[in-house]
Chains A and B, each alone.
Chain A
Amino acid sequence: MQKATIQLETLTCPSCLQKIENAVGNLKGVDKDSLKVMFNASRVKVNFDDTVSIEDIEKAIQDLGYGVKRSRVKAA
C-alpha cells in the first residue's frame, strides 16, 4: 500500500470535487475509503496498491482538466 499526496492547481468549483472523487475513486487499486479531495487546499490524498501507479492517478485527474502541480508518494 502506498500513500499519495497530490497538489493540484487551485480548484474553484465545488463540483470539481465530485468529478475528481469519482474519477480517482473508480480506478482499480485505489482505496476508495482513504480518498480525500480537499477543495480549499486543492489537494488529493489517497492510498493505492500495486495494481495502479501514481501516474495513472495523475492522468485521471488531468483528463478532467485539472492541472497537477506535484505529488509525493510514501509507503503507508
Chain B
Amino acid sequence: MGFQQKILSSKNKITLISGILIVIGFIAHFGFGNTQVFNIAFIIASILGVVPIAIQAFGALKVKVISIDVLVTIAVIGAFLIQNYEESAIVTFLFLFGSWLEARTLNSTRSAIKELTEMAPEVAFKQMENGEFEEVDVWDVDEGDILQVRTGGKVPVDGTVVIGEGHINEASITGEADPVRKETDSEVFAGTILENGTLQIRADRVGEDTTFGKIIELVEEAQDSKSEAERFIDQFSQWYTPAVLVLAFIVWIFSQNVELAITILVLGCPGALVIGVPVSNVAGIGNGAKNGVLLKGSEVIQDFSKVDTILFDKTGTLTVGNPEVAEFKTYGDADQALSYLASVENESDHPLAKAVLSQLGDIEMYPVDETNVVKGGGIVAEVDGHRVAIGNVALMEKENIQLTKEAREDFEAYEKRGNSLVITAVDGELKALMGIRDQIRPGIKQDLQAMKALGVKNLIVLSGDNQGTVDLVAEELGLTEAHGNLLPEDKADYLKELQAQGQIVAFVGDGVNDSPSLALADIGIAMGSGTDVAIETSDVVLMNSNMSRLPHALGLTKATANNMKQNIVIAVGTVLVLLAAVFFSDWMNMSIGMLVHEGSILVVILNGMRLLRYRLKGTDVETANAKEVYA
C-alpha cells in the first residue's frame, strides 16, 4: 500500500521523466538512426508510465468499476506485447500529462467557489483545561467550547459573546459593510471579522451548522448535484466503458488484429463526455456564488433557463417594503378613534402597522382587551369598551359599517392613486381613512426590461394589496399582468393554473408568507439576507436581497445550459469522428487517438471556464449608474 501511495503521489515526476525519455528516444532515432536507444527509452517510458495507471485500474476493478484507467492499461499492455513501444510510451505519457492538465484547469473552474470557502475560518483560539487559549484547527472546536477572537481575526463559529466588546464586520453574511457593535450576550457569526476589541465567545454552532457553513455547503452540494441528463450520462458511461472493452475484444477475435483492438480501447474512452457537463455546472454555479446568486444545482439551471413566466410578490420585492402613509382623512370627531387605532396597531407586526404608528406619532394609548385577525381583511378589537374595526373595504362591509357615498368615492380615489387602505371604524361608525404607499425599488424597471430581453414572456405581480395599487405598480414597471386582493393560497392556486397550462413558472418572494408559492413554483426565488430560512426552501437565493442580481441569474443559467449542450456535442462528436476514422481511414492510430481525446477533454474544460467570466451585457447596475453619472 505504501508503495502504491508513493507511486501515485509522484505521478507528476513520472510524467516528466517519461516525457524526457520519449524526447531522447526520438532524437536517437531520427537524429542518429539509433534504433536501440530508441527502443530502450520507449520501453522504460512505457513501463514507468503504465505503473500508476495500472494501480488505479486495479483499485477500480477491486470495487467492480471498469474505469478509463482499465481501458488504457489493457491497451498499453497490448501495444507492449506486439512490441509497438512507441505507441505504448506515447499513449501513457499523453494520458498522464492529460490528467495533470485536467487537474490544473479543473482547479480554475472551481476557483470561484474557492474564494468563498477561503473566507471560511480555519483556526480558533480555544480555551484549554488549564484556562489558556491555544490555537487549534477549527475542525477541533465543539459546541460549548469557549473561544477567543482577537482584533482582525475571523469569528470561527456561530456563538454568543461571553466577555468583552468590539465591532464586527458582518459583510460576509449580511452584505452590510458598516461594523456592528457586539457586547456580552450578542450573537456572532462564523466568517465575520472582528475589527476592534477582543471577545470571548461560546460556540453554539460549529462547522457546517453555522450560517456561513450552510451557505458554503449549499453551493458545494449544488455544484455536485446532477440533473436528469447528467444522471443519464452517468448511467450511460457505466455501461459504455465495459461495452468498449467488449467491442475491442470482439474485433480482436474476428480480425486477430491486436493493433486495431487496442486502438478502439483508447479511442472509446468517454473522458470528455463524463467531465463536460459537470464542468459547465461548476463554473456556472461558481460564477453565481461570486455574484450574489446561489443556484441550487444543475436541475435548477436547466429549469430556470427555460422559464416562461415570472411571478413577483409586490411588497419587499418590487417595492422597497417600507410603506408610508401618503394620504390621511378623518370623518367626524376622530381623536379618540385615532388613539384606539394606535393602540391596536401597536400590538400588530403587520408591515402597514409601522407606517400607521409613525404617522400618528406620540398619541395616547389604551390597553387592548381582545383582538381577532380577520384573514384578508384586517383586525377587529375591543378597546376601552368599544368595538374597533381596522382594515380594508371588505372588512367594513363584513362589519356592516355605514359607508356614505362620499366615503366610497374617497376609497376609490385613494386606491386609484396607488394607496393601500387602512380604514378605521369605531362601534359601527367610519372614523378615519389612511392611504399607505410603498416606494418602487430603484433600478427595478431596468432589471425587468433585461429579463424581457432575455426571453421571459410574462412578468406578473401578485399581491394581497388592492387592485388599484397593484395596477399602478404594474403600469409603472411595464409588467404584463397584475392581480390584487390575493391571499397566499390564492397566489399558489394561480401559480398551479399557469403550470397546468404547461408554463414553466418562477416565483420571486421574500420567503416568509409566500412559502407555499416558493415551494410550488418550478423555480422558487428567495430574497435572502443570508440568515434566512428561505435559503433552505428555495431553488435560487438572491443574496443580500439584491433584486438586481435576478437578470444576471437568468442570463447565467441560460449561458450555462447552452455551455452544457456545447460540451455534449463536442464530446460525442469527438468519439464519433475517432471511431469513424479508425474504420475508414489509414492514418488513425492509438497515439493520435489519445491526443485528440485528451485535447477534447481540455476543450470542454476551457469552454466551461468561459462561464466564470460571464457577465450580462449592459444591464449591470453599477455600470448603468456610472453611465448616467458620466453621460
- Please judge, given known A-B contacts A12-B103, A13-B99, A43-B220, whether A65 and B282 are in contact too, CB under 8 Å: no
Min C-beta distance of B559 to chain A, whole Å: 19
B65 and A40 within 8 A (CB)? no
Task: Flag A10-53 by CB within 8 Å of B: 1 or 0 each.
Answer: 10111100110011001000000000001111010000000000
Q: Which residue of B110, B223, B274 contacts A15 across the interface (Cβ within 8 Å)?
A: B274
Q: Which residue of A12, A38, A63, A67 contacts B99 across the interface (Cβ within 8 Å)?
A: A12
A63 and B278 within 8 A (CB)? no
Which residues of chain A in 41-76 are interfacial with respect to chain B, using CB atoms and an 8 Å cutoff?
Answer: 41, 43, 62-65, 67, 70, 72
- Please judge, given known A-B contacts A10-B103, A41-B220, whether A63 and B9 are in contact too, CB under 8 Å: no
Determine the distance from Cα of A18 to Cα of B8 in the docked complex, in whole angstroms: 19
Q: Which residue of A10, A38, A39, A65 contacts B4 across the interface (Cβ within 8 Å)?
A: A65
Determine the distance from Cα of A22 to Cα of B66 in the docked complex, in whole angstroms: 12
Min C-beta distance of B218 to chain A, whole Å: 11
Q: Which residue of B59, B207, B223, B275 contacts A63 across the interface (Cβ within 8 Å)?
A: B59
Q: Which residues of B contact A5 (CB under 8 A)?
A: 207-208
- Please judge, given known A-B contacts A15-B67, A22-B64, A41-B223, whether A70 and B55 are in contact too, CB under 8 Å: no
Chain B's closest residue to A42 (CB) is B110
Q: Is B102 an interface residue (CB 8 A)?
A: yes
Min C-beta distance of A60 to chain B, whole Å: 9
Q: Is B493 an interface residue (CB 8 A)?
A: no
- Please judge, given known A-B contacts A38-B220, A38-B224, A65-B8, whether A26 and B55 are in contact too, CB under 8 Å: no
Min C-beta distance of B392 to chain A, whole Å: 50
Min C-beta distance of B243 to chain A, whole Å: 15
Q: Which residues of A contact B278 (CB under 8 A)?
A: 14, 39-40
Determine the distance from Cα of A41 to Cα of B107 in the docked complex, in whole angstroms: 11
Chain B's closest residue to A12 (CB) is B103
Q: Which residues of B contact A41 (CB under 8 A)?
A: 220, 223-224
Q: Tally B residues with Cβ within 8 Å of A.
A: 37
Determine the distance from Cα of A67 to Cα of B221 in the docked complex, in whole angstroms: 21
Q: Which residues of B contact A40 (CB under 8 A)?
A: 110, 113, 220, 223-224, 278, 282
Which residues of chain B in 75-100 are interfacial with respect to chain A, using CB atoms and an 8 Å cutoff?
Answer: 99
Q: Which residue of B9, B63, B238 contacts A26 across the interface (Cβ within 8 Å)?
A: B63
- Please judge, given known A-B contacts A19-B59, A38-B221, A41-B220, whether A65 and B274 are in contact too, CB under 8 Å: no
Determine the distance from Cα of A64 to Cα of B59 in the docked complex, in whole angstroms: 5
A67 and B106 within 8 A (CB)? no
A12 and B102 within 8 A (CB)? yes
Q: Which residues of A contact B251 (CB under 8 A)?
A: none
Q: Which residues of A contact B224 (CB under 8 A)?
A: 38-41
Determine the distance from Cα of A55 to Cα of B78 in the docked complex, in whole angstroms: 38
A65 and B106 within 8 A (CB)? no
Min C-beta distance of B241 to chain A, whole Å: 8
A13 and B220 within 8 A (CB)? no
Q: Which residues of A contact B63 (CB under 8 A)?
A: 19, 22-23, 26, 64
Q: Which residue of B59, B64, B275 contacts A13 across the interface (Cβ within 8 Å)?
A: B275
Chain A's closest residue to B221 (CB) is A38
B220 and A65 within 8 A (CB)? no
Q: Is B448 an interface residue (CB 8 A)?
A: no
- Please judge, given known A-B contacts A40-B220, A40-B224, whether A18 and B275 are in contact too, CB under 8 Å: no
Q: Is B393 an interface residue (CB 8 A)?
A: no
B9 and A67 within 8 A (CB)? yes
Chain A's closest residue to B226 (CB) is A39
Chain B's closest residue to A18 (CB) is B65
- Please judge, given known A-B contacts A19-B60, A19-B67, A65-B8, whether A14 and B274 are in contact too, CB under 8 Å: yes
Q: Which residues of B contact A39 (CB under 8 A)?
A: 224, 278
Q: Is B139 an interface residue (CB 8 A)?
A: yes
Output the residue of A10, A39, A40, A63 with the most chain B CB within 10 A: A40
Q: Which residues of A contact B139 (CB under 8 A)?
A: 70, 72
Q: Is B56 an interface residue (CB 8 A)?
A: yes
Q: Which residues of A contact B137 (CB under 8 A)?
A: 70
Q: Which residues of A contact B322 (CB under 8 A)?
A: none
Q: Which residues of A contact B275 (CB under 8 A)?
A: 13-14
Determine the distance from Cα of A20 to Cα of B92 in the docked complex, in whole angstroms: 24
Determine the distance from Cα of A13 to Cα of B102 in the docked complex, in whole angstroms: 8
Min C-beta distance of B374 to chain A, whole Å: 46
Determine the distance from Cα of A67 to Cα of B530 in the docked complex, in whole angstroms: 34
Going nearest first, the 5 A-B pairs with the smallest beta carbon separation are A22-B63, A12-B103, A41-B220, A64-B59, A15-B67
11 contacts between A and B (CB under 8 A): A19-B65, A19-B67, A22-B65, A38-B221, A40-B223, A41-B220, A63-B4, A64-B56, A65-B59, A70-B139, A72-B207
Q: 18 extra interchain contacts, Cβ-Cβ under 8 A, other than A19-B63, A72-B207?
A: A5-B207, A12-B99, A13-B102, A15-B67, A18-B65, A19-B65, A26-B63, A38-B221, A39-B278, A40-B278, A41-B224, A43-B220, A63-B4, A64-B56, A65-B4, A65-B55, A67-B9, A72-B139
